[in-house]
């Protein structure tokens, strides 16, 4: 029923038209008349004087309806900036028993607030308003007993929760997923649960294929949570590319010098190339290092070497051997004319900081190939893929694994040049999308944030701190759900990032667990709305 219909219905069906014409909405169950619009009313921000008996009822973030009877208009908005006043200071001689049902005569307000207008209710939908609610208009709070659907068609969207005070169901616009979502809040605020709600909804109500990177392994990786239809990939079983292995090795050895890191890079590449050459020559013994190095410099097709390496890893027939690697490394160091002291240093570091176990336990047994997993995602074979990164012990490698996956998806999406319909979820995103120290994952995340929407490739990033998301990532995220933040500097960042947070500063520290503001493109109400996240296991 539209407002106009409602108005007429109440008007004609009432036995007391005179009273009704002054107060139409107040008859509806679940709306509470709390005050009246005062002067300085604007189209977007409407000052309200709160009646005495509602002083202990009105709270910031409540949903309000402003009924302008004179102009026959109805506005929806959110209560902000409520303050209680001291009449001894504001006007001690004035009466305070203001009762908007009966009189608008001047009295000193004991409490005032603003209603930040979301829009005008016109024929069941919300429209941007330039009209200004008249002073004297009545202000009602929407309580949980009011059925908002009587006035407004609220789009269903992805059901994440309910407006905190009115209980109105809030759905995120699924069209906004392509434009990326961030979930931010201090530890324990309920980010991961909220992300799970988003994933569940995306799977149920859209055609997105979802890949989740589970940093801790605690939140997403239990298959029973998803009713079984999920592909959980163990991060410690993913075959790493040679550059990743070299990075991890060099980090382990504590090599900061670029040139010395390059030696490791060369040794890893040569080790793999020799292994593949030996296989292709049908020899059971290893190809000679001299031969492998010569081929590496001359005409070896490295792409097919890496392909071959993955193939052998998949079948478990590529073997990493500590002793052999030391030989290769020493060969490379000699070739590079390093001092013998450097050769000794590398040997010691390899033994003390890396060791046999790294090669035999960590590098061997990595039989999951990123390309295969991505193929299953893109072909629609698995709609939900969870990469459990908790078992990957090397911190550096986690970032590379995320990078390998996202890069593979990105490259294939660009190749096909059609809509991909992929949602990549990165919880604990400060480990992967930060401004410094998150390469190479941060680079590809920034690229997807920038260009992903063209290809239907959306990101959901959850993090405790706003500043831990690199500015070039943040700048391209269009929907933000945020709760209590860690510090004042996080709040300052939020304000710079998201419009319309003027009054939220007072409320933000008070938020309970599971309470998030929904702001940005995905919010069907245009102004940040306080949502209590639905039950999520
Ligand atoms: N929507 C919800 N439904 C049910 N319980 C919830 C919900 N949100 C939060 N909780 C409760 O709060 C706890 C913390 O939630 P969650 O793990 O999602 O927080 P978080 O913000 O991801 O924390 P961290 O930053 O430490 O990862 C949960 O273990 C659960 O008990
Ligand atoms: Mg979490």
Query: Which ligand 1 atom sits closest to the C-alpha of 219?
Result: 17
The stretch 446-470 carries a mean pLDDT of: 95
Q: Do 260 and 223 belong together in one domain?
A: no
Whether the bond into 88 is cis, omega within 30 of 0? no
Which ligand minimizes its atom distance to the CA of 197? 1
| pLDDT at residue 7 is higher than 50 | no
| pLDDT at residue 235 is higher than 60 | yes
Measure 496 CA to ligand 2 centroid, in angstroms: 25
| pLDDT at residue 416 is higher than 60 | yes
Cα gap 367→390, rounded to integer Å: 17
The stretch 284-310 carries a mean pLDDT of: 83
CA distances 504 to 59, 85, 199, Å, are 12, 20, 27
Q: How many residues can be counted in the chain?
A: 537
User: Which pLDDT belongs to residue 532?
Assistant: 98
Residue 524 covered by a domain: yes
Q: Do 144 and 195 belong together in one domain?
A: no
Q: Do 269 and 349 belong together in one domain?
A: yes
Q: Do 225 and 273 belong together in one domain?
A: no
Q: Do 11 and 107 belong together in one domain?
A: yes
Q: Do 89 and 198 belong together in one domain?
A: no
| Helix boundaries (H) for 392-523 | 395-416, 441-451, 471-474, 488-497, 504-507
Residue 236 covered by a domain: no
Measure 176 CA to ligand 2 centroid, in angstroms: 22
The pLDDT confidence band at residue 286, using thresholds 50, 70 and 90, is low
Q: Which protein residues are within 6 Å of ligand 1, measured from CB?
A: 185, 187-193, 464, 513-514, 533, 535-536
Percent of the chain predicted with pLDDT > 70:
90
The stretch 244-259 carries a mean pLDDT of: 93
Q: Is the full-model pTM beyond 0.85?
A: yes
The CATH number linked to 481 is 3.40.50.300
The stretch 67-93 carries a mean pLDDT of: 83
- Structural domain including 480 reads 173-230+385-533
Task: Quick: pLDDT tens for 378-404.
Answer: 998 999 999 999 999 888 899 999 999
Query: Which ligand 1 atom sits closest to the C-alpha of 483?
Result: 21
Q: How many domains does the chain have?
A: 3
Q: Do 42 and 101 belong together in one domain?
A: yes
Q: Are 101 and 136 in contact (CB under 8 A)?
A: no
Q: Do 320 and 459 belong together in one domain?
A: no
Q: Do 293 and 354 belong together in one domain?
A: yes
Give the angle subtended at the CA of 317 by the CAs of 262 and 407, to the nearest 5°.
50
Q: Do 400 and 476 belong together in one domain?
A: yes
| Mutational test site, ligand 1, from 193, 431, 485, max ligand atoms within 8 Å of CB | 193
User: Which pLDDT belongs to residue 11?
Assistant: 37
Task: Quick: pLDDT tens for 346-367.
Answer: 999 999 999 999 998 899 989 9
Residue 168 covered by a domain: no
Measure 388 CA to ligand 2 centroid, in angstroms: 14
Q: Do 464 and 505 belong together in one domain?
A: yes
Residue 426 covered by a domain: yes
Task: Quick: pLDDT tens for 166-183.
Answer: 999 999 999 999 999 999
Residue 379 covered by a domain: no
Measure 508 CA to ligand 2 centroid, in angstroms: 19
Residue 166 covered by a domain: no
Q: Do 418 and 524 belong together in one domain?
A: yes
């Amino acid at each position: 029923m539209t407002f106009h219909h409602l108005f007429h219905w109440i008007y004609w069906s009432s036995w007391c038209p005179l009273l009704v014409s002054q107060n139409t909405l107040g008859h509806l169950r679940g709306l509470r008349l709390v005050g009246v619009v005062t002067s300085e009313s604007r189209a977007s921000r409407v000052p309200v004087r709160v009646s005495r008996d509602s002083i202990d009822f009105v709270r910031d973030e409540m949903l309000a309806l402003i009924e302008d009877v004179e102009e026959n208009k109805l506005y929806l908005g959110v209560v902000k900036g409520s303050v209680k006043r001291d009449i001894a200071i504001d006007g001690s001689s004035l009466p305070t028993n203001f009762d908007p049902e009966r009189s608008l005569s001047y009295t000193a307000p004991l409490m005032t607030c603003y209603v930040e207008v979301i829009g005008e209710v016109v024929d069941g939908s919300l429209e941007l308003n330039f009209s200004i609610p008249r002073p004297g208009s009545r202000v009602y709070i929407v309580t949980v007993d009011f059925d908002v659907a009587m006035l407004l068609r609220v789009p269903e969207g992805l059901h994440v929760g309910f407006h905190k005070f009115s209980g109105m169901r809030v759905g995120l616009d699924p069209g906004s997923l392509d434009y990326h979502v961030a979930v931010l809040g201090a530890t324990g605020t309920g980010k991961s649960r909220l992300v799970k709600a988003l994933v569940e909804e995306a799977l149920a109500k859209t055609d997105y294929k979802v890949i989740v990177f589970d940093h801790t392994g605690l939140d997403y990786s239990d298959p029973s949570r998803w009713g079984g239809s999920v592909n959980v990939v163990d991060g410690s079983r993913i075959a790493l590319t040679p550059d990743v292995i070299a990075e991890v090795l060099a980090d382990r050895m504590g090599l900061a010098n670029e040139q010395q890191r390059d030696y490791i890079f060369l040794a890893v590449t040569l080790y793999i190339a020799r292994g593949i050459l030996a296989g292709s020559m049908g020899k059971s013994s290893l190809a000679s290092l001299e031969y492998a190095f010569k081929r590496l410099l001359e005409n070896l097709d490295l792409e097919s070497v890496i392909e071959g390496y993955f193939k052998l890893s998949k079948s478990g027939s590529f073997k990493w051997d500590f002793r052999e690697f030391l030989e290769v490394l020493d060969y490379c160091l000699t070739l590079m004319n390093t001092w013998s002291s450097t050769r000794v240093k590398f040997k010691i570091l390899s033994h003390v900081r890396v060791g046999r176990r790294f090669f035999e336990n960590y590098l061997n047994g990595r039989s999951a190939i990123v390309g295969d997993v991505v193929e299953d995602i893109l072909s629609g074979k698995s709609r939900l893929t969870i990469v459990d990164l908790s078992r990957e012990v090397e911190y550096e490698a986690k970032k590379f694994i995320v990078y390998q996956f996202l890069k593979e998806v990105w490259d294939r999406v660009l190749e096909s040049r059609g809509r991909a319909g992929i949602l990549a979820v990165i919880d604990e995103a400060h480990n992967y999308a930060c401004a410094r120290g998150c390469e190479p994952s941060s680079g590809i995340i920034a690229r997807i944030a920038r260009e992903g929407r063209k290809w239907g490739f959306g990101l959901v990033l959850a993090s405790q701190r706003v500043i831990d998301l690199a500015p070039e990532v943040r700048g391209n995220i269009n929907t933000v759900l945020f709760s209590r933040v860690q510090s004042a500097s996080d709040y300052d960042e939020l304000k710079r990032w998201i419009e319309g947070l003027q009054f939220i500063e007072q409320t933000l520290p008070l938020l309970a667990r599971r309470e998030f503001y929904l702001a940005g493109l995905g919010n069907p109400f245009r102004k940040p709305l306080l949502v209590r996240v639905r039950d999520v296991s």
